[in-house]
């Protein structure tokens, strides 16, 4: 009986880690600058990067939603609240003191490897 119980415990300890999915962190950047059209509003640009394979998902709605954010939101607080509601966390915030007063907000989120198009 003890031997049977011991074997079951060993099998469970081996089986549980095999079901764990590998997580990969993905980052995205939003650039904001004051709007020329509306006073007090911001222009928000989603900067996804140049290499398509590094930010490609099986479900294209992830990328589509991020692109749509840039066209619909006009305040940094709205951007921060929306990204937090989608599971993204703010990693860094930079402010460039140029004539455009541009800011970059860098977000990250963990995705399962199975959510990506190519295994990385």
The C-alpha torsion from 96 through 97 and 102 to 106, rounded to 10°, is 30
The domain of 91 spans: 21-115
Say whether pTM exceeds 0.75.
Answer: no
Q: Is residue 9 part of a domain?
A: no
Residues 6+ apart with CB under 8 A from 96: 102, 103, 104
Looking at residue 120, its pLDDT comes to 44
Looking at residue 91, its pLDDT comes to 93
Q: Is residue 30 part of a domain?
A: yes
Looking at residue 31, its pLDDT comes to 87
The total of structural domains in the chain comes to: 1
């Amino acid at each position: 009986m003890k031997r049977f119980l011991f074997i079951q415990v060993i099998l469970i300890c081996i089986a549980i880690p095999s079901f764990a999915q590998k997580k990969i962190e993905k980052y995205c950047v939003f650039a904001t600058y004051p709007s020329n059209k509306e006073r007090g509003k911001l222009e928000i640009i989603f900067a996804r990067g140049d290499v398509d394979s590094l930010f490609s998902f099986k479900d294209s709605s992830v990328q589509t939603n991020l692109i749509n954010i840039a066209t619909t939101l006009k305040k940094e607080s709205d951007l921060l609240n929306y990204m937090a509601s989608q599971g993204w966390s703010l990693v860094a915030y930079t402010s460039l003191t140029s004539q455009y007063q541009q800011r970059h907000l860098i977000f990250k989120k963990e995705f399962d490897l199975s959510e990506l198009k190519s295994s990385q």
